Amino acid sequence: MKVISMSAAMLLSLAATAQQPVYTRAALESVTVYRVGAEMNHKTKITLPKGSSQVVVQQVANAIDENSIQVSASNKVTVMSAGFARNFLKEEDLKSPAYLKLEDSLQAARRELTRTRNNRVAEENTLVLLDKNQALGSGPNGGASVTELMKLAEYYKMQQVELRNSIAVLQEKETKQQEGIQKLEKQLKELSNDPNASGGQLVLQVMSENGGPADLEVSYITPAARWGVYYDLKATNTSSPLQLFYKANVVQNTGVDWKKVKLTLSTGNPSQNGTAPVLSAWFLSYMEIIRPGMIAGSAAYQNRLQSMEMKSMAPAPPPVAMDSMASGVDLYTHQNENQLSATFDIDIPYDVASNGKYHSVTLKEFSLPATYKYYAVPKADPDAFLMAEIMDYEKLSLLPGEANIIFEGMYVGKSFIDPGATTDTLNLSVGRDKKVIVKREKITDMSGVKFLGNQKRQTFTYEIRVRNAKKEAVNMLLKDQYPVTTDKSMEVELLESDGAAVNAETGVLTWKLDLAPGETKKVRLSYSVKYPKDKLIANL
């Protein structure tokens, strides 16, 4: 066993401290983006001296959960500690790609301005020289001839005009170049002050047993990235399958541009608390009634029951083969599911700039057998809506999101997909169809008010006309309603429903109509409300 004296240990420590840090750039290999946050994975090669040394890994994210940092090394290198630090563009090697690109543009613009100024000064000096040499030479008789005088005057005039025009053009060019430089300087200043414009760095303390080259793999979680889902719904006509394009908007402000990285999108949340809940004893007690005069914050006020509800999470359904379109992005995207989340592994390398802007990524394309029907509630909206019913939608692992609707080759609006519905059928609104015309009108001669003693009876009658102006037959679900009441002084009577299915509890009437091309159908709704004549009903 070797014994090292205190002074020798101090010398070794000072020698290790005096060693210059080993700087290296981290090449980004892959990124897993969660709904909130992302896991970034880097690789780099370094050459280490034997013994202890400090390694500074540049070009990592500008915000990192330090508890998530994972570092592995080859060639008998032990990582003893890892920490995170911001660089704020202080050194040339640490400047972000966006900053370097802008800095290069500024330097090029300044060089062009210098050339323009040099050309302008040269032209001005030439003009001065020309002005100094305008004295006419003397002839044999002590003066220049008329012919010589005219030639000299024409020459000086032409030269001065040419020089002054050139100077004016250069001055205008110089002004524009100065304005461009000022804009670049302003952008560079904003980028320097933007904390998202620069990446961070990891400071590692490592021990190399033999020294020499080694491979480092670094991974961590950053909160500066996220993705959200949206959809494109396309239908050629009501007899064709519905095409659903499952898409994602990826946005990141990590300070590191993602260049040709392997991208994985996950529905999980790495920041979610992973501790399983534990139930404690549930003791019942009476709640003390707070009476007028009881002061908030007093002992009596504070002595109240406090209870807590725990929400249980149902396990995700087992993986089921999806009927996706075997074309386009499906050839490069693989979906995997487990009990807690689903992931989309994309084989196509992606570029996502660190600028806070959304980058669209297509995940999956589905061709879905759909049952189409029209839906109308003319009391609430005068238009008819085309609805698509999708069965077994649980297989698609959809997330709630907005959908763009393209029907018959035209963009018709937006809808919202809510896969969290409790029904076994997913109803998607494909949009309004102006060729199915719905009109609801009050029939005045069958509506009115009658007084019966101290009672008032109001009668309402409505006629709804539906016209199919399309070239194909349509099926429609038409809904309307009559009022319901729980007040014993009011009496509501449904007088006519014209064959509708009636829900007496909610007052909703539903008609199922089949309309041939060009056909028009009418239905009628009539009801009466009886109540004391000295009363008013606000929402009748």
153 falls in which pLDDT band (50, 70, 90)? confident
> Burial level of 463, CB count in 10 A (0-12/13-18/19+)?
middle
What is the gyration radius of the CA atoms in the chain, in angstroms? 40
Please indicate whether residue 85 or residue 384 has the higher confidence score (pLDDT).
Answer: 384
**Percentage of the chain with pLDDT > 70?**
77
- Could you tell me the two tokens for 496? 């006519």
Burial 392-403 (b: 16+ CB within 10 A, else e): ebeebbbbebeb
Average pLDDT over residues 247-275: 84
At CB < 8 A and 24+ separation, what contacts does 51-54 make?
51/16, 51/207, 51/208, 51/211, 52/16, 52/80, 52/205, 52/206, 52/207, 53/16, 53/19, 53/21, 53/22, 53/205, 53/206, 53/208, 54/19, 54/21, 54/22, 54/203, 54/204, 54/205, 54/206
Q: Which of 127-131, 249-253, 415-419 is the least confident region?
A: 127-131
CA distance 26 to 44: 5
For the cut 60, the answer to whether the pLDDT of residue 196 exceeds it is no
Q: What's the rounded Cα separation, in Å, for the pair 31 and 263?
A: 5
pLDDT band at residue 433 under the 50/70/90 scheme: confident
The average pLDDT across 234-244 equals: 85
DSSP 8-state code for residue 202 = E
Q: What pLDDT shows up at residue 125?
A: 83
pLDDT value at 501 more than 80: yes
Give the pLDDT band (50/70/90) at residue 329.
low
Q: Which pLDDT score is estimated for 182? A: 87
pLDDT tens by residue, 332-381:
666 665 545 678 888 888 899 888 889 888 888 888 888 889 999 999 99
What was the pLDDT predicted at 420? 72
pLDDT of residue 2: 38
CB atoms within 10 A of CB 241: 16
Confidence (pLDDT) at 164:
86
427 pLDDT above the threshold of 50? yes
Q: 177-181, 302-306, 362-366: which range is least confident on average?
A: 302-306
Residues contacting 532, CB < 8 A, separation 6+: 454, 455, 456, 489
Beta-carbon contacts of 140 under 8 Å, excluding residues fewer than 6 positions away, are none
Percent of the chain scoring above 90 in pLDDT: 28
pLDDT beyond 70 at 293: no
The Cα 338–Cα 354 span in angstroms is 30
Q: State yes or no: pLDDT of 218 exceeds 80.
A: yes
pLDDT on residue 342: 74
Between residues 415 and 495, the one the model is more confident about = 495
SS3 content of the chain, % helix, strand, coil (to 5): 20, 45, 35
Alpha-carbon dihedral sign for residues 345, 349, 354, 356: negative
Residue pair 59/256 in contact (Cβ under 8 Å)? The answer is yes
pLDDT score for 95: 58
Q: Tell me the pLDDT band of 493, cut-offs 50, 70 and 90.
A: very high
- Look at residues 328, 331, 366 and name the one whose alpha carbon lies nearest to residue 345: 331
Confidence of residue 460 (pLDDT cuts 50, 70, 90): very high
Q: Taking residues 381-401, what's their average pLDDT? A: 84
Residue 483 clears pLDDT 80, i.e. is over it: yes
pLDDT the model gives residue 242: 86
Reduce the DSSP state of residue 116 to 3 states and report it.
helix
Q: Are the C-beta atoms of 232 and 417 separated by less than 8 Å?
A: no
Q: Which residue has the higher pLDDT, 339 or 424?
A: 424
pLDDT tens-digit map of 97-141: 677 788 888 889 888 988 888 888 888 888 787 777 665 554 455
Closest alpha carbon to 221 in 259, 276, 266: 266
